[in-house]
Amino acid sequence: MSDPKYVAVVGAGPSGLYAAATLVSSDQVAGVDVLERLPAPYGLVRYGVAPDHRKTKEVVRILQRPFGDGGKVRFLGNVHIGDGGVPLARLREHYQAIIHATGCPSDRDLGVPGERLAGSVGSAAMVGWYSGHPDHAGLAPSLDHTGAVVVGAGNVALDIARVLSLPAEALAATDIPDSVLDHLAASRVRNVHILIRRGPQDVKFTPVELRQLGELDGVDIVVHRPDLVAAAIAASSERREQVILSVFAGWAARATTGADRRIHLHFRCSPTRLEGENGRVRGVVVRSNDAGSNQQSGGGTGRLAAGLVVRAIGYLGKPVDGLPFDASTGTVPNDLGRVNGLPGNYVTGWLRRGPSGVIGTNRADGGEVAAAVLQDLPALPEVLRPGPDPVLETFAEYGLEPVDWQDWLQLDAGERQLGQARGADRVKVAEWTQMLTLCRGSMTA
Ligand SMILES: Cc1cc2nc3c(=O)[nH]c(=O)nc-3n(C[C@H](O)[C@H](O)[C@H](O)COP(=O)(O)OP(=O)(O)OC[C@H]3O[C@@H](n4cnc5c(N)ncnc54)[C@H](O)[C@@H]3O)c2cc1C
Ligand SMILES: NC(=O)c1ccc[n+]([C@@H]2O[C@H](COP(=O)([O-])OP(=O)(O)OC[C@H]3O[C@@H](n4cnc5c(N)ncnc54)[C@H](OP(=O)(O)O)[C@@H]3O)[C@@H](O)[C@H]2O)c1
């Protein structure tokens, strides 16, 4: 009988939790520790999925399952691996295999002048703010101007445009923190401009999410350059494209209602410069792009008045200390999840594939990587100090006090209690110290 094997999963987002679910079913594995930087699990399901998409968030019922399965899987939150936290080399003392599932937490830049002005933010920060992520609790984006610009043609751009356009009352029954709801209630934003750098046939929006934009009460959709939609319909033979184009065409044909909130769709349009006053964004100079090009070339220029510019142009991976990293894709080079040149290390989710794909995509990915771990485990070298307790001693050396699953459930209960006052399932607590206070058993947020 070989020694018991222990596996660490770093990151409690969908990919890490799907991997843990596969590992737990194997007799080879004595224990799995899910090590998470935040005091709360679920990654972008908690801190990305839009607050008004409550049904989508119900996937946590599946994601939480490994933690109830006979105690073989532990949640250790509030522990930062690498990047000033516990070095990877110290983790290797305790686990035969480590699955890295830390996602793509950063924002891409546009690379245009004015991008550092106050009021210019990335989608990870913006979404993190309204989702109650403790890293972004202090963002308070500029909503003091009637115009806002969202750059990008993916589902994240749609989420942000929707949140900026909905009246605060419509968000009261969601989980957004009280401070965010207050900030949105005071918003002066009435015109949200979505800048799409290519044509209407090239957008990354998915049909269900796109249609939702046109169903918002009290919001008109303004399709600029409807000629591009008509031309794309004439040229398109692909089913998915046709569905999307028919949505745009329906909006272009629809009479506006005179609502004071509007979402504008600008095709073949790129920002070339952000203009400011007193260090704050006050406008975006845009340029229309030539047909077929995603570069800022040709066409005319214009200016959109705005106090907020959100770059929703894709998230960006971050190097993991001790692992190879491909800066061009923001991912860790791997072969079927096995990190190149580092036996015993694996990668899954957005850190493996890059920042695209829905929650379900991570199920197959996490399962595949866990299967690779199970295949390799018998041949991986024994470790110095296996077992559940020594790793806690190592965390203590770095001043880390993990929160466990029971602690998280106390935070969870505290948020649900806060929700009652607003008629919401929960209201998120976004400040780190308040999260920990609730984890440690005080019900007062
Ligand atoms: C704004 C937004 C909205 C989305 N909405 C939907 C939707 O409605 N439906 C859908 O199907 N998909 C949606 N997606 C996609 C979906 O969220 C992703 O496919 C999925 O979350 C990726 O999973 P992951 O595990 O790779 O990364 P993540 O979910 O990002 O999880 C990574 C985890 O690792 C932790 N971590 C990071 N660094 C460290 C460290 N050093 N040490 C320890 N832990 C660390 C993070 O805190 C996080 O919990 C959305 C994505 C975004 C960005
Ligand atoms: N409800 C849902 O199911 C849901 C909600 C949110 C997110 N998600 C998923 O999460 C993943 C990430 O979404 P995402 O929206 O961040 O990424 P995405 O789908 O990759 O979209 C990014 C968009 O940014 C554009 N872009 C990139 N660089 C640009 C630049 N320099 N200037 C202008 N535009 C630029 C891209 O245009 P090009 O095509 O021209 O490159 C693309 O339209 C996706 O798989 C998405 O489906 C799902």
- Structural domains of the chain ordered from first start: 5-105+317-402 (3.40.50.720), 108-314 (3.50.50.60)
Q: Which atom of ligand 1 is nearest to the CA of 11?
A: 34
Q: How far is the CA of 72 from the centre of ligand 2 (A)?
A: 37
Pocket test for ligand 2, best of 156, 267, 351 (most atoms within 8 A of CB): 156
Tokens 């329906």, residue?
250
Q: How far is the CA of 347 from the centre of ligand 1 (A)?
A: 14
Q: Which atom of ligand 2 is nearest to the CA of 358?
A: 9
Question: What span, in angstroms and rounded, lies between the C-alpha atoms of 70 and 404?
Answer: 15
Pocket test for ligand 2, best of 313, 353, 361 (most atoms within 8 A of CB): 313
Q: How far is the CA of 314 from the centre of ligand 1 (A)?
A: 13
CB-based contacts of 294-297 (< 8 A; 24+ apart in sequence): 294/197, 294/198, 296/197, 296/270, 296/272
Which residue's C-alpha comes closest to atom 5 of ligand 2?
A: 155
Cα–Cα separations (whole angstroms), residue 160 to 116, 148, 186: 20, 11, 17
Cα–Cα separations (whole angstroms), residue 105 to 115, 151, 317, 387: 19, 18, 6, 30
81 annotated ligand binder: yes
pLDDT (tens, 9 = 90+) of the chain, 445 residues, equals 567 899 999 999 999 999 999 999 999 999 999 999 999 999 999 999 999 999 999 999 999 999 986 789 999 999 999 988 999 999 999 999 999 999 999 999 999 999 999 999 999 999 999 999 999 999 999 999 999 999 999 999 999 999 999 999 999 999 999 999 999 999 999 999 999 999 999 999 999 999 999 999 999 999 999 999 999 999 999 999 999 999 999 999 999 999 999 999 999 999 999 999 999 999 999 999 975 544 444 457 899 999 999 999 999 999 999 999 999 999 999 999 999 999 999 999 999 999 999 999 999 999 999 999 999 999 999 998 877 789 999 999 999 999 999 999 999 999 999 999 999 999 999 999 999 999 998 655 4
Pocket test for ligand 1, best of 33, 44, 160 (most atoms within 8 A of CB): 44
36 annotated ligand binder: yes
| pLDDT score, position 296 | 44
